[in-house]
Amino acid sequence: MEFNIKSGHPEKQRTACVVVGVYEPRRLSEVARQIDEVSHGYLSSILRRGDLEGKIGQTLLLHNVPGTLADRILLVGGGRERELGDYQYRKVIAQAIRTLHDTGSMEAVCYLTELNVRGRDTAWRIRQAIETAQATLYNFDQLKSKKDVCRRPLRKIVFSVATRRDLTIAEQASREAQAIALAVKLTKDLANLPSNICTPSYLAEQAKALCNLHEKLTCKVLNESHLEKQGFNAMLAVAKGSEQPPRLIVLEYRAGKKNDNPIVLIGKGVTFDSGGISLKPAKDMDEMKYDMCGAASVLGALSAAVELQLPLNLVAIIPAVENLPSGKATKPGDIVTSLSGQTVEILNTDAEGRLILADALTYAERYKPAVVIDIATLTGACVIALGKPAHGLMCNHNPLTNELLNAGRFSGDRAWELPLWDDYQDQLDSRFADMANISNNREAGAILGACFLSRFAKKFHWAHLDIAGTAWITGKEKGATGRPVPLLTQFLIDRSRDDTMIAPLSPTTAISSPLPFDPSEDKRADEENKELPSAELPSAEGEK
């Protein structure tokens, strides 16, 4: 859909529809009052008759309003003005977009971006309006033989700002919003694909395709033989039961200063998670194709950074596997030596995401990262603790915690901090190995998952986002949400504007220093690294 920004009087807009707000109880917004004046009280008379109260979600479509040039005027309820916050504003925008799309208004000029949202400025309102509009109209029908076709879909929308002075910041907000919206769509599309299509190898191919977007973006894929040689035994233990070979996908984006240490994003990429030998219940197992939402969100956030040409150095690492039971599968009680050299007793094969992330965290050390953030649909316990609205955030560095929480608040893609105290660590003790991958009791499952990962993240500032409850919607409207792409992208935008970034724990090393692979080989597959078919998904016991 096409988005534009402009400033102008509502009665002078020659368009299919002009959208304005009405507050509860039956109070015209400032822009609606302008239309009411030129129409000699037409809107006021309608409100007095009780046709619209102004409650959130109410709409009234008017035709041929006197004194205006638009074909229609759409009145949208905004609730009580003093109660109009972030959540309510997004609901108002979503309802307006649905109504425009369903009533055949192929284009519209929307003045809802001039509503008074508590504590929010023009840039924020434009950002949220565009992101909400795209999310409202999203539909995944790639695999349907007969698609639902709207005869007159909404194709163009112009969002208004109050004065011409606001145009510059609004245009920048629009640019950021459209990049985020496209990134969210990419993430949703990948996560909604079935696991017989979206395999580890498919994810690798999508990562390579992203390299065509920017000359500063490069990609390398490590295949099974490379992983065996380097000692990714925890990751390989998860993949043993599947016919789909694992892949470690590494992307680098270099647009920052030469000596700036990179931000590393790690995304859990289990394209299908049956639980392995610790088999999940059959009910809702189809949703386990979403266990690669962490990987999809990393690709989405990276694509947004590239689209916006953020002046940063970024590295994305995606361990991609499929977790299935077979005669070759890892068994409960097996012990593996991770890439870090630490040994892990695998008490439950459905707590697999932390195993692949452990090796990926160790691999990240070679980049001397400024910060590392892993994103994973890790634990069902996080869903119980926080439900659907908030990601679980656990971190070993308070300034990084605050950055992520603030990015979540601004973007509307919020996280909530859970403790990462040493008090929990002894619950992962094992009699036979350095640690177990789960605890023997069900307490604090989300925190223990992060405690396990923290043992592989001691050499850098690190944060863990558990998105098990936020990455997808269950039920009739089931599907991926695209979260936490808005949070991650806002974090990267904030970092790109901040000259006082957090210093890394380890000695500073330029991103252009020797890499784990030769950049000249990127964007082409050498014989050693040729892709084979693959597949993935989410986890069970400790993991969603």
> Known catalytic residues?
280, 354
395 within 8 A of 530, measured Cβ to Cβ: no
Using CA atoms, how far residue 174 sits from 2, 60, 488, 494, in Å, is: 11, 27, 18, 16
User: Where do the DSSP E strands lie in 7-58?
Assistant: 17-23, 27-28
H helices within 250-395, ranges in order?
A: 293-307, 353-364, 380-386
Check residue 509 and report its DSSP letter.
-
Nearest residue to 432 via CA among 329, 542, 330, 334: 334
**Rounded distance, CA 60 to CA 74, Å?**
6
Nearest residue to 376 via CA among 463, 314, 464, 487: 464
Question: 400-406 long-range CB contacts below 8 Å, 24 or more apart?
Answer: 400/371, 400/461, 400/462, 400/463, 400/502, 401/463, 403/491, 403/494, 403/495, 403/502, 404/373, 404/463, 404/465, 404/487, 404/491, 406/494
**Rounded distance, CA 531 to CA 194, Å?**
19
252 within 8 A of 302, measured Cβ to Cβ: no
**Rounded distance, CA 498 to CA 370, Å?**
13
Nearest residue to 465 via CA among 540, 544, 382: 382
- The helix/strand/coil state of 337 is strand
Max Cα-Cα span within the chain = 83
Residue 20 one-letter amino acid: V
Check residue 258 and report its DSSP letter.
T
**Rounded distance, CA 102 to CA 151, Å?**
9
**Rounded distance, CA 368 to CA 172, Å?**
32
- Residue 347 exposure: Cα atoms within 13 Å on the Cβ side: 17
3-state helix, strand, coil in the chain (%, to 5): 40, 20, 45
**Rounded distance, CA 212 to CA 89, Å?**
37
217-251 burial, b at 16+ Cβ within 10 Å, e below that, comes to bbbbbbbbebbeeebbbbbbbbbbbbebbbbbbbb
Cβ atoms < 10 Å from Cβ of 527: 5
Nearest residue to 109 via CA among 74, 151, 79: 74
Phi-psi region of 444 (alpha: psi -120 to 50; beta: other; left: phi over 0): left
